[in-house]
Structure 1
Amino acid sequence: MLSLRFSLFLAFVTAAAAAFIPRLRQNDVQNATSTGDAAGSQCGFEGNSDLYGLGIRLGIYFQWLSAQLCRLLYKEYVVDLDRAYMIFLAAVFIALLVLTGDADSTYDVEVLILMYILICGPFNFISGQLGEYRSIALVNVEFIVVWPATVYSCWFWFVGRESSFLQQPADCGTYGFVFKQVSLRSHSTISFFRAVSVLLAVILAFFHGFWFYLVPLKRWRKDRETNKPVLESIMSWWGPSRMEGRDGGPTDRDDLTKTALSKIYSAFCLVFPILGIELTLKWNSVTGVYTIRSIGQLIPSVTGLAGLVQVIYGILRYVRTFFVIAL
């Protein structure tokens, strides 16, 4: 797939170079009045379009939607999407680290936006499936890319937020999305993000251990009888393999419950980070990130759209083949 490899290369170069491209920031602007009335101040700043411009965001959203469609209807292609997104995330995380160590200060809002991409986005790809279309090696790659982002999030909300690399818009609040508009300066909001960051880091570490140790045990041809019931229960619930005819396998009611939960999970993973990113940009009056006229914005958006079209085409081809066989 030459087009896929070329797309991966473009995504990596674009995201990695974003941290090194000089950018012009627009601090809070006050109206030029002799009275200096505080009510005349204009909040907001010019965002980094090289990291989260409209074209890049659209490309990411197209990837998330493609991943959800693949997980449901076109599992053969989900591995390619997963690998592409992991490479992109690695580049974004490197850019975030460079921004953290850069003398040019950044805004905590920008870090929050990148956290939506780095931490929330991968859950559109990560699932319990392990087998024909998913290997332990791929799970390891996901862990290596996503888990450091959760560790960074822990550092940011506990320590980094008070560091000198951040700047705040003068006389303006900074806001984020946690099911509603919240102030990023609120103690309760900071405590919430601290708790979520630690919880995610622990959960990801636990499930990585699960894939590393319990799944290989499950694949042994000679399972120990003491471990087998536990392993069967874990795999029947977390993994999508149905294991009909085995003791302890899922019932029809279990299947219906898991299907409903899976749909809710998929919708949440897709909608929540998109709302978080777009509302955060809007509430903080971030400018310069709503155009795709430049080549740097056009390429990732077209690449993401092309991937979505390819997924839809594969699904339609599969449906057509299914009906031909049925008839």
Structure 2
Amino acid sequence: MELHALPSTRPNGDPVDALSAAHLLPTRQNQRTQPDLGELQDSNVLSSSHHEIFSRNRTNIINPGARRNTFRRRRRSCKRCCIDCRHFCVVFWKELWMRGTCCDIPWWVMPAYMLAVSAMLAAWCWVILVSDKPPTAIDLSQCPSRVSGQQATLFTSKIYFEQFNYTLWNARRIWEDEQLCAVGFQGNSDIYGLGIRIGLYLQWFSSLLANHALVETRKSLSQAYLIFSLAIFITIMVMTGRSECDFTIELVMLYIMFFGGFLCVFYRPNLISKENPPKWLGMTWHRAITMCLYGVMIGHAAWFWPIGYNSSFVKMPCGTTLFFFGPISDVSFIPLRVLLGLATICGAVEFAVLYPLFVILFSEEIKRSILESAVYQGLFPRHQYARIEEQDESATDSTLARWWAKLARWHRKMRSRLAFLKLGLFKEAKAVEGRAKIWSHVFNGVIGCGSFIWSISAIELIISWNKITGVHNIDTTGQYIPLVIGICSLVTVLYELIKDHFRRKASLHQGELAADDAARHRD
């Protein structure tokens, strides 16, 4: 082993002591990894960037604290709307526009992002222009079969389309006619029958319990409810595209089922483990599909409330009564429709802007998830190992991963300061590391319970006030599958809660026995 004498002077000629001189000695690792800068410069094979890298490494060897202090200053100087990119603060939009000169963002990111946003907004505007048709385009041939014989005459083209020209006084004369409007219309039991509604309500209640008490069970429940959400979404799209007699109030109930279930099931406290901090946002496939469905439904609602409410679906001649913390008539619902239309339009524009951005930022993670998926590995077994190994470094070293790691560190710091807040369903439950803070439980619990109560009340009261028939019995085979799934979900959650309760009691009992044994040994 080659021995090195302690240098007595610094490169600038100043004397050094023994402790400082020890840092100037080349270590075994530096001898193995750091090349001689003079030899490399003489060989004329290094570019200017390489000279900068090696000169920076030499500076770090001479003064090990310089690099740490420089990084600390750079992190401290990062402001809002900036990203930490290779320990440099870069304005995010400037980095996109400058083709990723620092963060290795490809040059096509900004044009692709602008093109995607423009395409989504143009498609939504085209749908509005195409569907902006007068009510006379509705096919009324099948409507008389869904109402009583007395109301069937109201669905002739001449009488039906005259109601759009009625004054409120003339409209109320028809609505208050007890003989003409004694019965509503025949409901579709395969879409919102009693069995389907009970199955949905049980799914919502099971998810509310699991979201705050059973961390391991709530993921499987949300995956199962994704099937219900997908079925409601397909039903709405089919009813929008076909020319049959579908009443507007039916679409309103389906909207309440979809968005009410979304708030009950998917509004839950976030869990971030201290031992395994996330490398990125943790977007799983079922959550990605759920968010895509939610975005498409927001866009559909932005079309439905201002345009499709009257132009694409049948209006009840005897009037429509909706629920908004109380009964509200169809005429009085117009200002609320305007507000809902503005809110959903803003939401649709927001999703049109953010979705392409997330896809671009998550490109490495999405690619890695596809390579790790069972479908890809089953179709391309030759590439299932080599391709994943290639993506490990790029996925963990991406800009978004570093940004999310900073948020995770901040979250752990704040959680350590609030460690005195203990959570648990039962009094004897101890705080578990990785649970969300109490404000998250309270906020999500209030949102979920409020949505649960409001959605059930709205659906049941709308059916009762509008006198919809044929949906109060479980008399069709299509209602049994959702009902059985809802019952099984509730039974599973209750079983897990009871088992968890007795497991905690047993662990507490064992702890008491151990404490008694320790006390006897001390005596």
TM-score tier, shorter chain, comes to 0.7 to 0.9
- 2:341 is matched with which residue: 171, 194, 214? 194
SS at match of 2:146: coil
Query: Is the 8 Å Cα contact of residues 143 and 204 (structure 1) preserved in structure 2?
Result: no
CA deviation profile, 1:52-96 (whole Å, cap 9, x unmatched): 000000000010001101101112111111112112211221122
Query: Does 1:46 pair with 2:186?
Result: yes
Q: Quick one: structure 1 residues 25 and 109, their matched pair in 2 at CA, closer, same or farther if it must change by over 3 Å?
A: farther
1: CA distance, partners of 2:482 / 2:348: 29
Correspondence for 1:159? 307
Structure 2 partner of 1:245: 416
1:220 to partner: Cα distance? 6.7
**Aligned residue number for residue 211 of structure 2:** 71
Out of 491, 495, 507, the position equivalent to 1:325 is: 507
Cα distance in 2 for residues equivalent to 1:242 and 1:49: 53
In the TM superposition, residue 162 of structure 1 has moved relative to its aligned partner by: 3.1
Matched, 1:57 2:197: yes
* 1:192-238 Cα distance to aligned partner (Å, 9 max, x none): 32134235546767887898769x9xx978999x96898369x85xx
**CA deviation after TM superposition for structure 1 residue 273, in Å:** 1.1
Is residue 2:321 matched to residue 1:175? Answer: yes
Measured at CA, do residues 206 and 116 of structure 1 come closer, stay the same or move farther in structure 2, by a change above 3 Å? farther
State the partner residue of 1:301.
483
Quote how far apart the aligned CAs of 1:270 are.
1.3
Residues 1:222 and 1:150: Cα distance change in structure 2 (over 3 Å): closer
Distance 2:457 2:178 in 1: 29
- 1:110 maps to a residue whose letter is E
**Of residues 111, 121, 139 in structure 1, which corresponds to 2:287?**
139
Contact 2:264 2:449 in 1 (8 A): no
**How far did residue 292 of structure 1 move?**
1.1
Instruction: Tell me how far 1:258 sits from its aligned partner.
Output: 4.2
Q: Percent identity?
A: 25
Please say if residues 189 and 476 of structure 2, whose CA atoms lie closer than 8 Å, have aligned partners that are also in contact.
no
Find 1:117's aligned residue among 225, 250, 257.
Answer: 257
Output the CA distance in 2 between the equivalents of 1:150 and 1:242.
Answer: 36
* 2: CA distance, partners of 1:98 / 1:85: 20
Assess if the C-alpha contact under 8 Å between 1:153 and 1:197 holds in 2: yes
Alpha-carbon deviation of 1:295? 2.3
CA spacing shift, 1:104–1:161, aligned 2, 3 Å: same
Between the aligned partners of 2:257 and 2:450, the Cα distance in structure 1 is: 14
CA contact (8 A) 1:151 1:201 kept: yes
Q: Which amino acid aligns with 1:41?
A: L
Q: Is the CA contact (8 Å cut-off) linking 1:31 and 1:40 kept in structure 2?
A: no
Task: Find the aligned partners of 2:486 and 2:464 in 1 and give their Cα distance.
Answer: 23
In the alignment, the residues of structure 2 paired with residue 39 and residue 24 of structure 1 have an alpha-carbon distance, to the nearest angstrom, of 19
Aligned-pair distance for 1:262?
3.1
Measured at CA, do residues 157 and 31 of structure 1 come closer, stay the same or move farther in structure 2, by a change above 3 Å? closer
> Quick one: distance in 2 between partners of 1:242 and 1:277?
44
Question: Structure 2: which amino acid aligns with 1:244?
Answer: R
**Which stretches in structure 2 are left out of the alignment for 5+ residues?**
1-141, 153-173, 274-280, 366-394, 423-435, 510-523
Q: How far does residue 184 in structure 1 lie from its aligned partner after superposition?
A: 3.3
Q: Is the 8 A contact 1:140 1:208 kept in 2?
A: no
Which residue number in structure 1 is paired with residue 227 of structure 2? 87
Partner of 1:106: 246
Residues in 1 aligned to 2:299 and 2:420: alpha-carbon distance in whole angstroms:
38
Q: Which amino acid aligns with 1:231?
A: L
Residues 122-156 of structure 1: per-residue CA shift (max 9 Å, x gap): 11121352557x94123312111222111111111
Determine the C-alpha separation between the residues in 1 that align with 2:242 and 2:207. 34
Distance between the aligned counterparts of 1:143 and 1:60, measured in 2? 19
Give the letter for the 1:94 counterpart: I
Is the contact made by 1:47 and 1:286 (CA closer than 8 Å) also made in structure 2? yes
Extract unaligned runs of 5+ from structure 1.
1-21
Separation of aligned partners in 1, 2:151 and 2:301: 36
Change (3 A) 1:90 1:231: same
Partner Cα separation in structure 1 for residue 144 and residue 258 of structure 2: 24
Counterpart amino acid of residue 188 in structure 2: N
Of 131, 141, 146 in structure 2, the residue corresponding to residue 26 of structure 1 is: 146
**Alpha-carbon distance change, 322 to 300 in structure 1, aligned in 2, over 3 angstroms:** same
Amino acid at match of 2:207: A
Whole-Å Cα distance in 2 between the matches of residues 154 and 202 of structure 1?
A: 10
Give deviations 1:240-299, integer Å, cap 9, x for gaps. x895326xx688599554443333222112111111111111111111111113322233
| Counterparts in 2 of 1:242 and 1:270: CA distance versus 1, 3 Å | farther
Larger Rg: 2
SS at match of 1:66: helix
SS at match of 1:176: strand
Tell me what 2:467 maps to: 285
Local SS of the residue matching 2:328: strand
Alignment partner of 1:274 is 2:456: yes
| Partners of 1:177 and 1:325 in 2: CA distance | 49
| Contact 1:28 1:169 (C-alpha < 8 Å) held by counterparts | no
Match of 1:8 in 2: none
Equivalent residue of 1:182, what SS? strand
Higher RCO, 1 vs 2 (CA within 8 Å, ≥6 residues apart): 1
Q: Name the SS of the counterpart of 2:325 in structure 1.
A: coil
Deviates more, 1:120-129 or 1:300-309: 120-129
Q: TM-score, normalised by structure 2?
A: 0.48
Which residue of the partner structure matches residue 270 of structure 2? 129
Work out whether residues 265 and 448 of structure 2, in 8 Å CA contact, stay in contact via their aligned partners in 1. no
Between 1:57-66 and 1:116-125, the stretch displaced more is: 116-125
